[in-house]
Amino acid sequence: MNFQQLRIVRETVRQNFNLTEVGNALFTSQSGVSKHIKDLEDELGVELFVRKGKRLLGLTDPGKELLEIVERMLLDAKNIKQLAEQFANRDQGMLTVATTHTQARYALPRVVAGFKHEFPKVHLALHQSSPHELVHLLKTGEADIGIATEALDDEPELVCFPYYEWHHAVVVTQNHPLLEQSALTLESLADYPIITYHEGFTGRAKLDQAFAAAGLVPDIVLTALDADVIKTYVELGLGVGILASMAFDPRKDDGLVLLDTQHLFPQNVTRIAVRRGHYLRAFAYRFMELCSSQLKESVIRNSLNSRSRTDDLD
Q: How do residues 126-135 score in pLDDT, each as one tens digit?
A: 999 999 999 9
For 168-266, CATH number out of 3.60.10.10, 3.40.190.10, 3.40.50.360, 3.50.50.60 equals: 3.40.190.10
Q: Do domains 90-165+269-305 and 168-266 have the same CATH topology?
A: yes
The whole-angstrom distance between residue 160's C-alpha and the CA centroid of its chain comes to: 11
- List, in order, residues 6 or more apart from 56 with CB less than 8 Å away: 12, 17, 19, 49, 50
Q: Say if residue 87's pLDDT is above 80.
A: no
DSSP annotation of 174 reads T
Q: Say if residue 274's pLDDT is above 70.
A: yes
pTM value is 0.72
93-102: burial string, b at 16+ Cβ within 10 Å, e else: bebbbbbbbb
- The CA dihedral of 251, 256, 262, 265, to the nearest 10 degrees, is -130
Q: What is the mean pLDDT of residues 152-159?
A: 89
Percent pLDDT > 90 in the chain is: 58
C-alpha–C-alpha distance, residues 314 and 88, integer Å: 34
Q: What is the mean pLDDT of residues 161-179?
A: 95
**Confidence at residue 33, expressed as pLDDT on a 0 to 100 scale:** 87
- CATH classification code of 90-165+269-305: 3.40.190.10
Query: In 3-state terms, the chain is what percent helix, strand and coil (to 5)?
Result: 45, 20, 35
C-alpha–C-alpha distance, residues 244 and 204, integer Å: 10
Tens digits of residue pLDDT in 29-71: 888 888 888 888 888 888 899 988 888 988 999 888 888 888 8
Written as one letter, the residue type at 94 is M
**Confidence at residue 3, expressed as pLDDT on a 0 to 100 scale:** 83
Strand partners, 93: 122
Are the CB atoms for 48 and 94 separated by under 8 Å?
no
DSSP β-ladder status, 256-260 and 168-173? antiparallel
Q: What is the mean pLDDT of residues 119-123?
A: 94
Where does residue 226 rank: exposed (0-12), middle (13-18), buried (19+ CB within 10 A)? middle
308 confidence band (pLDDT: 50, 70, 90): very low
Q: Taking all residues of the chain, what is their mean pLDDT, rounded to a whole number?
A: 89
DSSP β-ladder status, 256-260 and 145-148? unpaired
Q: Say if residue 309's pLDDT is above 50.
A: no
Tens digits of residue pLDDT in 212-251: 999 999 999 999 989 999 999 999 999 999 999 999 999 9
C-alpha–C-alpha distance, residues 155 and 139, integer Å: 9
Are the CB atoms for 244 and 100 separated by under 8 Å?
no
**Confidence at residue 204, expressed as pLDDT on a 0 to 100 scale:** 93
**Sequence spans of domains, the chain:** 3-83, 90-165+269-305, 168-266
C-alpha–C-alpha distance, residues 111 and 239, integer Å: 33
What's the length of the chain?
A: 314
Tens digits of residue pLDDT in 217-228: 999 999 998 999
- CATH classification code of 3-83: 1.10.10.10
Largest pairwise CA distance in the chain: 77
